[in-house]
Structure formats: C-alpha cells, structure tokens
Amino acid sequence: MSLKVGVYGGSGYAGAELVRLLGGHPKVGGLAVASRGYAGRRIGEVFPQISSEGSFVGPEEIEASGLDVAFVAYGHGESAETVAALLEAGVGLVVDLSADFRLPEVGMYEEWYGGHPAPGLLAEAHYGLPEVFGPAQGRIVANPGCYPTAAVLALAPVVRRMGGGIESIVINALSGVSGAGARPSVKTHFVSANESANAYGAPLHRHTPEIETMLRRVGESPAVTFVPHLIPISRGELETIVVDLEELPAAEDVLGWYAEDYEDWAFVEAREEYPHISHVANTNRCRLSAAVDGRAGKLLLFSAVDNLLKGASGAAVQNMNLALGYPEDLGLEHLK
C-alpha cells in the first residue's frame, strides 16, 4: 500500500523532522506539506538539509479527503480544529503532536491550557507512548510531549511494581533550545540562551498533569514535582528523577524491570552507564539507567531522549507504523 500523507505545520522544528522522515519512508507514496508562512516556497530551499523537490502549500490547498494519514504539528489550542476537520473529511488516522488530545478530561485541559476547541473528540484519542500503552487504536493518536516521554518511560516500570510505596517523585529535566519551538523569543535568542541555563515553568509546568495522568494509568502514583531547565544546546533532553520510596529496590532490580518491560520494543534501552544527551541525539532512542542513594534513601532514575525525534516526530512516525500494522521501526531503522 502506498500512503498519501499530509503534514500540517511542516515549517517548525518538529514539522521539518517529520518531512525528512516521511520523505524516506518506504510506505509513503505521496507527501503534502502545509505551511502558512512558507506556502509556495520549495522545501529544500527553506530546509537545505532536507532533500526534497516538493514545495510548501497552504493548508487549504491539501485535498484532505485524499489522505490516508495526517500529522498535525501546530501548537496547543490550534491543532484540535484541524484534527476535527481532517476526521470530518475522512482521513483514517491523524497523529497530533500538540497537547490538545493528551489529557483525557475537558476540565483538566481547560485548567492548564484554556478552552478546548473539540472536546467531543477527547475520548477517541489514544496516548501514543506504545512501550507503555500499546499500539494506537482508533483515528486519533495524541503524540506525547518530550518531557513526559522521558519521564513516563523511566517511571512506569517502577510505578507498576512499587506504586503503593512511592512517597514522592521529583523530576529535574534539561532540554535543548529547539524544545521551545521555532518561533523566536527573548528567552531563546542566542544571547539569552548561550553560556547560560535556567529553570522555567516551575512549579506548575503544563507537562505536569500529563506525566501524573499517565503514571496513574499504570499504578498508584503521587503528585509529581517537575522542574524543566533550558540549556544552550540545539536538541536533546536529560531527566534526573528522584523517587522517595518506603522500601528501596536495588539498582540492578530496576534495570531488570526495564529489560523485562521494554525487551520487545526497538527504541528503549537500559544500561548501567548513565545516559548522556549525546548518546541519543539524532536518534529515536530513549536510554535509561538507575542508581540507589542508600545514604539519603532515594532511588535515582536517568532518562535521555532527542526531544525532536523520540520526543516528537520520530515517535509520531513510530505511532503511525504501529497503528497501520507495520513494524515500529519501518523508515526509522537508521535512528536506533
């Protein structure tokens, strides 16, 4: 089967990665890429790193009824209307990279993001972290956020086995500047970000309810303290997670849980060596490790991902593969 695929929001960092990955996917036979700002310009002109003879078009120029799959890479509050319109046009699978379908309850979404443009579709969305929640079912895949991806992959095996004994979880996360999106701001300007680091969004970052909600689907889990930091690199993400437990497991046990839970999945691996961002940059891999601070009585978990790949576009293609019955690594083999 040759898929006809549309990308809406193809000019952002995640969108550009989608275009690059889908352009080389063996099942994609036609690719339409929408961008309001770059409509009419060649993709290879805007992104010279992408080998493409195609051009950006306006969203209205894509014949949605002819698409098999659509990826929506708009911001929160903007994606949901496009997702609804695509489903109305008959698109069989929509993968949404925004936060619009990640939270299952309208009230929860409105508390953290404001009014939801398509609340009636929330119940249809499958949270797209397949290593924890299985392959996507239905028409809508809610692609996870990059921070929740790293956090939930690290914590889910622990919560599954020791959830009732977890007293607190603190997540300290470091992310490259591309995580803030392609639209420039004072915070992401070179002069502001270079040779510096800063915490932001604390204590109530919008990814907090996403992390808590998904952990509670796995087992009993407390409220999470989540503190993200911006660091002066282009891409990549590292989380150090401190878990306070009534009874500490051995680090070897946690590594064994990772091996047991993720052995059949292509893109999650655990090692004794603590992960570096450089270990996962430009891959679709999540690398995990664990240690025990016996003196302080804490379990330490380490998780690293590329925020634009396993934290966004690579995971989106992985979700498409699984939803359509293809191998999860189809078109992503080079990113292991």
**Within the chain, what is the greatest distance between any pair of CA atoms?**
62
pLDDT digits (tens, 9 = 90+) for 270-290: 999 999 999 999 999 999 999
Give the confidence band of 16 by pLDDT, cuts at 50, 70, 90.
very high
List, by residue range, all CATH 3.40.50.720 domains of the chain.
3-143+312-335
Query: Residue 245: phi, psi to the nearest 5?
Result: -125, 150
pLDDT for residue 266 is more than 80: yes
Question: Under CATH, domain 147-305 is a member of which superfamily?
Answer: Dihydrodipicolinate Reductase; domain 2 (3.30.360.10)
Determine contact, residues 198/229, Cβ cutoff 8 Å.
yes
Please name the residue that has the structure tokens 């940059």. 281
pLDDT digits (tens, 9 = 90+) for 191-233: 888 999 999 998 889 999 999 999 999 999 999 999 999 999 9
pLDDT digits (tens, 9 = 90+) for 294-312: 999 999 999 999 999 999 9
pTM of the model: 0.96
Give the confidence band of 52 by pLDDT, cuts at 50, 70, 90.
confident
pLDDT for res 191: 85
Give the confidence band of 240 by pLDDT, cuts at 50, 70, 90.
very high
Neighbours of 4 (CB within 10 A): 17
List, by residue range, all CATH 3.30.360.10 domains of the chain.
147-305
Which residue numbers are catalytic? 146
Determine whether domain 3-143+312-335 maps to CATH 3.40.190.10: no
